Structure 1
Amino acid sequence: MKKTVSSIFLALLFSYSATANTTVDNEKKEVNVSQSKVTWKGYKVTGAHDGTMELKSGHLEMDGNKLVGGEFVVDMTSLTVTDLKAGDGKEKLEGHLKSDDFFGVANHAESKLVFTSVKPLNKNSYTVVGDLTIKGITKPVTLVISMFEGKATATVKIDRAKYDVKYGSGSFFDNLGDKTIYDEFDLVVDLVL
């Protein structure tokens, strides 16, 4: 009887030890969307425009101190232009960017990025491949994320032609001259966790 009790006790002790030392699967760190910021910059032959968009939701997945995944949703209806002032073409450009000529926010109010691969670049930075969905079209993108003290910054170039954003694109139209708008635009995302 003592041998049976001892065996049960040892079995329970080992199973407790095994579960006590099991690491927690990826921890989700929610992004503080009200303090985080998404800025964009688009280029044309005669200059550039820039502005902001708001994050609707987002999180980073961590394994200890290492980034292993993430997902973000951007509110496309929040798109604003910051390089123009009210009455100076700001409202007109914002309306045009939200129209079907560009991002069609009436039918595509959100864009989404889901990480598919994360590789360390150095101590605080990662190369991330993710599936980016704009206007219902999903394509892979590569970006760099740097993390430090509860903040993260991501930079990415996006080719709008891959997402059926054709207006003023030399990839779709000939003889645009100085009316050409370049296909690639920049996004910088500053995250507060």
Structure 2
Amino acid sequence: MNKTRNFVLIILSVFAIAACAPRQANVAELIAQIEAGEIPADVTRATIDPATSNIEWLGQKITGDGHYGTINVKSGEFFVFDGNILGGNVIVDMTTIKVVDITDSVPAAGLRGHLESDDFFSVASFPEAQIQMVRVEPIEGAAADAPNYKITGNLTIKGITHGIVFDARLDHTEGTIAGFADFSFDRAKFDVRFASGSFFENLGDNLINDNINLKIRLAASY
């Protein structure tokens, strides 16, 4: 009797494991597709709202002086499956670069034009930048309001793509995602050369740090 009962339990366990396996395998397959740059058909696409999303930028000289401003989010989405955020992408409208710290419109427009030029971001040739999120991993034990996900992905500026890794805060409730990330990237990797110590010597106090800081706020829904 006991042998029969044990046999039945074993069979039930095998069926239970088999029932769970396709879903787990499916998640792994979806992640692999996202990493390959594909958008899986099985994911739910949470659309990022440009009107309630924004990017703040900060660039500084070696002296500590600097400028800051904003850039608009053009479009984007998160990929959701079984309640989990698997990845996503953000398209940045480089034509919307604004300088906020200079209140005089004439020098502000001058700096904006310089940032749009080939000295910096070559906006006429490359009007969009992209942040691709290919892997989104929970940070165990994250404190409230602290970054709770590690994001691995790609950053494309001026048609040049490099891998990036940064922490972010993602608050996911039924049908909505609110995201915030604060990280820096090395502009020299994207051929942004002006006053860069990676390309020029003896700049002295005119040297501008290669690292540019971004604060990104995203609001998405599905």
Q: TM-score, normalised to structure 1's length?
A: 0.83
Deviation at 1:88, TM superposition (A): 5.9
2:159 corresponds to which of 127, 136, 141: 136
Once residues 63 and 152 of structure 1 are traced to their aligned partners in structure 2, the CA distance between those partners, rounded to angstroms, is: 17
Distance 1:112 1:163 in 2: 12
Amino acid paired to 1:154:
A
Provide the rounded CA distance (Å) in 2 between the counterparts of 1:114 and 1:45.
Answer: 30
Identity percentage of aligned residues: 37
More strand by share: 1
Provide the residue aligned with 1:179 in structure 2.
Answer: 206
How far apart are the structure 2 equivalents of 1:89 and 1:64?
A: 50
- Residue matched to 1:51: 69
Counterpart of 1:10 in structure 2 is none
In the alignment, structure 1 segments of 5+ residues that lack a partner are 1-17
1:89-100 alignment, distance < 5 Å: 89-100=107-118
List aligned pairs for 1:40-189, cutoff 5 A.
40-46=57-63, 47-87=65-105, 89-122=107-140, 125-148=148-171, 150-189=177-216
1:97-152: CA deviation from partner (whole Å, max 9, x where unpaired): 01000000000000011122221114672111111110010100112121225411
CA contact (8 A) 1:37 1:52 kept: yes
CA contact (8 A) 1:73 1:112 kept: yes
CA offsets per residue over residues 16-73 of structure 1, 9 Å max, x none?
xx9xxx8993211101111101111111123121100001111111223322100110
User: What letter matches 2:102 in structure 1?
Assistant: L
Paired with 1:67 and 1:125, the residues of 2 have a C-alpha distance of: 12
In terms of fraction of residues, the more helix-rich structure is 2
Contact 2:154 2:164 in 1 (8 A): yes
The letter of the residue matching 2:204 is G
How many residue pairs end up in the alignment?
173
SS in structure 2 opposite 1:181?
coil
Larger mean CA deviation between 148-157 and 125-134 belongs to: 148-157
The one of 52, 57, 61 aligned to 1:35 = 52
SS at match of 2:201: coil
Determine if contact 1:115/1:129 at 8 Å carries over to the other structure.
yes
Indicate yes or no: 2:217 matched with 1:190: yes
**Unmatched tracts of structure 2, length 5 or more:** 1-18, 27-40
Q: CA RMSD in A?
A: 1.9
The aligned amino acid for 1:59 is: E
Q: Which moved more, 1:38-47 or 1:123-132?
A: 123-132
| Structure 2 counterpart SS, 1:115 | strand
